[in-house]
Structure 1
Amino acid sequence: MSNLDRQAALSVCGGRGFVVAEPVRELLTPRRVQLGESTEVRRLLPNLGRRMVGAWCFVDHYGPDDIADEPGMQVPPHPHMGLQTVSWLHEGEVLHRDSTGSLETIRPRELGLMTSGRAISHSEESPKQHARMLHGAQLWVALPDAHRNVEPHFQHHADLPQVTAPGLTATVLMGTLDGATSPGTTYTPLVGADLTLAAGAEANLPLDPDFEYAVLTMSGEARVDGVPVTPGSMLYLGCGRTELPLHALSDAGLMLLGGEPFEEEIVMFWNWIGRSHDDIAQAREDWMTGTRFGEVKGYDGPPIPAPELPPTHLKPRGRVR
């Protein structure tokens, strides 16, 4: 999924200087962003005060939206580099096309994982015949310098491992949780898990104390380490935890995101991640001149033009503004 903001802002993040080394409870407020023609998202990362959680650097939560009489998601071809996109649905379907020739329909609780590497372009749309509701999350993972120019590729995994406890099912979409490992390719130590909690359930989820974590609330009401969370909010938890207490006040859906703090400083502008102003400027030129990012075939519409670069020189700085 793209950042379609035509007034795209520079995000500077990475480095360990602002990682919270002990457990905290920092509730992040989303920013509402219009995505395409008919989809509004709640953007949790990058946030005004918190830019990354491990290598997770972008989190949008959308829906549930009733699209029975609407086209639904319509995101024209756009470029990515230096990152992975993670598509995750609770309801609906998304048709993915990309410049490597991939064509895949992603359905609820299936992993759509696109590694952009040096350059890729893709589109996302609700199929013409689609379900009534659309509800999901779109996430990005920053690639470390050693792997940010890998060959672009797409993975689709419908069968994902699960961790269960009374009243809790955790589907592991990225990385490893409690011994269960996703088949999705990762390039840094991280975890992403979808948590389904039955009303009244209480559980303690095992965590890695070297990771920093956050929990995105998809649906329902719950308490995460005693903090009430509601749909569209994200609770940053810091590092130093060996377990996470969960209590569902109703049937609830959460996403656990975590990882080893990302040491490298990065520059994130529009749909690109680089290490310098020149990286981003070259990406923009390549996209606008039709080179490097390839062509998405089969989408009915033109690609999205890139926004203008800001007047100031882009510099990588730190994890928080």
Structure 2
Amino acid sequence: MDEMREGAGMDDTEVQVLGARDVPLGGPRAMTVRRTLPQRSRTLIGAWCFADHYGPDEVAESGGMDVAPHPHTGLQTVSRLFSGEIEHRDSLGSHAFVRPGELNLMTGGHGISHTEVSTPGTTVLHGVQLWVALPGAHRHADRDFQHHAPKPVRFEEAELRVFLGSLAGETSPVPTFTPLLGAELLLAPGATVALPVNPAFEHGLLVDEGTVRLGDASLRPAELGYVPTGQDILTLTNESGHRARVVLLGGTPFDEEIVMWWNFIGRSHADIVAARKEWERASERFGHVDGYPGARLPAPALPNAALTPRGNPPRA
């Protein structure tokens, strides 16, 4: 599923190439997504702990997205679309729409629930769903929801939108609990771009369209290239004869171990058991989502073995 390829153009740094696996999302009306994080060889990139990539899907064939009320703890969800529109409702009372180029960021913290449904006018659904793990000091933060529409800016032969953190002189106003970077880039055919980045960050480049070289690693659609800390320039080359689109993620290494199960992030098996129990008994911890015409998702059964905290492989 993943391999190591050397990136001599970036000080001989090895680029770890992570492949995706297909996963059904959303219960009985599941759509299929491509998941690159987490996996066995890498749990997090910075505090980014989850990356789903989907589409372009013809809604008339796939049925679109219809995710009934479900819970989250210990994390933030980051929703970005390339095409289509998704209606979001949550137990904070937020009612918003995810549209192409915009950011919807929801903080679960101690507990929240929400729904995601593609709108009737959506014909093609295409985007990414990302999660950020909250650090121990903030993992019980209050529920929150923020919306931001970053403006597109030119950098060399690329157009970029910075939705979290800072890149190429652009800074998102959305606060984060750990230092993070999230940006969408469009690369012209054949373009090479040298991006100045924070050397204290590790980075992941998820390819949506085209074939993009990161250092000396050639990344195909749905692959994610990982670069460790220590780099102040990331060199990206669009090897396609058409536009390429990528999502760049980054952050300082997240040194805490986490337990990630279903829609919960905790620090122990007991954390997950408690969260599941409270969701199943409709505890006020997760609140109630108004406006969804159906039942909420039941929690799956816990595995027979105790869930074990996981982190990344030790840094060299």
Q: Same fold by TM (over 0.5)? A: yes
Q: Secondary structure at the match of 1:303?
A: coil
- CA distance in structure 2 between the aligned counterparts of 1:178 and 1:247, rounded to whole angstroms: 17
SS of the equivalent of 1:278 reads helix
**Structure 1 residues 214 and 240: alpha-carbon distance in aligned structure 2, compared to 1, 3 A threshold:** same
Alignment pair present for 1:302 and 2:291: no
Q: Deviations over 1:81-114 (max 9, x none)?
A: 1000000111111110101111111100100100
SS of equivalent to 2:258: strand
Aligned residues between the structures? 298
Match of residue 319, structure 1, among 303, 312, 316: 312
The superposition leaves residues 236-278 of structure 1 with CA deviations (integer Å, 9 ceiling, x where unpaired) of 1112111011111231000111100002111111111111121
Q: For residues 307 and 190 of structure 2, what CA distance do their matches in structure 1 show?
A: 48
The answer to whether the Cα contact below 8 Å between 1:30 and 1:47 also exists between their aligned partners in 2 is: no
- Write out aligned runs for 1:145-294 (5 A): 145-158=136-149, 160-250=150-240, 251-291=243-283, 292-294=285-287
SS at match of 1:285: helix
Which string of whole-angstrom CA distances, capped at 9 and with x for unpartnered residues, describes residues 109-156 of structure 1? 1001001111000010101222x2111000000001111111101111
Task: Give the C-alpha shift of residue 185 in structure 1.
Answer: 2.2
Deviation at 1:320, TM superposition (A): 4.6
Please say if residues 31 and 62 of structure 2, whose CA atoms lie closer than 8 Å, have aligned partners that are also in contact. Answer: no
2:36 aligns to what?
44
**Counterpart-to-counterpart distance in 1, 2:302 and 2:256:** 22
Tell whether the 8 Å contact from 2:255 to 2:311 is kept in structure 1 after alignment: no
CA apart distance, 1:318: 2.9
Residue matched to 1:14: none
Question: CA contact under 8 A between 2:31 and 2:63: conserved in structure 1?
Answer: no
1:55 is matched with 47
Structure 1 residue 183 displacement after superposition = 1.9
Return the letter of the residue paired with 1:133.
Answer: V
8 Å CA contact 2:256, 2:311 repeated in 1:
no
Q: Please tell me whether the aligned partners of residues 71 and 126 of structure 1 are also in contact (alpha carbons under 8 angstroms).
A: no
Q: Secondary structure at the match of 2:165?
A: strand
Whether contact under 8 Å (1:51, 1:57) holds in the other structure is yes
Looking at structure 2, the residues matched to 169 and 309 of structure 1 have their Cα atoms a distance apart, in angstroms, of 44
Cα deviation code 1:154-206 (max 9, x no counterpart): 11112x15552232012111111133211222000110110111101111011
Given that residues 226 and 245 in structure 1 are in contact (C-alpha distance below 8 angstroms), is that contact kept between their aligned partners in structure 2?
no
The reply to whether residue 23 of structure 1 matches residue 13 of structure 2 is yes
Structure 1 residues 298 and 312, CA, compared in 2 at 3 Å: closer, same or farther? same
Name the structure, 1 or 2, with higher relative contact order (CA <8 Å, separation 6+): 1
| Residues 1:113 and 2:105 are matched in the alignment | yes
1:211 maps to amino acid: F
Partner of 2:59: 67
In structure 1, list runs of 5 or more residues that go unmatched.
1-21
| Offset, 1:311 | 1.8
Residue 140 (str. 1) matches residue 141 (str. 2): no
Residue pair 2:210, 2:244 contacting (<8 A) in 1 also: yes
Following the alignment from structure 2 to structure 1, what is the Cα–Cα distance between the partners of residues 304 and 147? 39
Per-residue Cα deviation, 1:272-309 (whole angstroms, up to 9, x for no partner):
11111211111001000000101111111111111112
CA distance in structure 1 between the partners assigned to 2:291 and 2:63 by the alignment: 17
The separation in 2 between residues aligned to 1:289 and 1:29, in whole angstroms, is 38
> Is the 1:48–1:320 contact (alpha carbons within 8 Å) kept by the matching residues of 2?
no
Larger mean CA deviation between 269-278 and 81-90 belongs to: 269-278
Which segment drifts farther, 308-317 or 246-255?
308-317
The Cα RMSD (Å) is 1.6
Match of 1:76 in 2: 68
1:71 CA displacement: 3.5
Q: Which runs of 5+ in 2 are unaligned?
A: 1-11
Q: Distance in 1 between matches of 2:230 and 2:62?
A: 45
Q: Percent identity?
A: 50
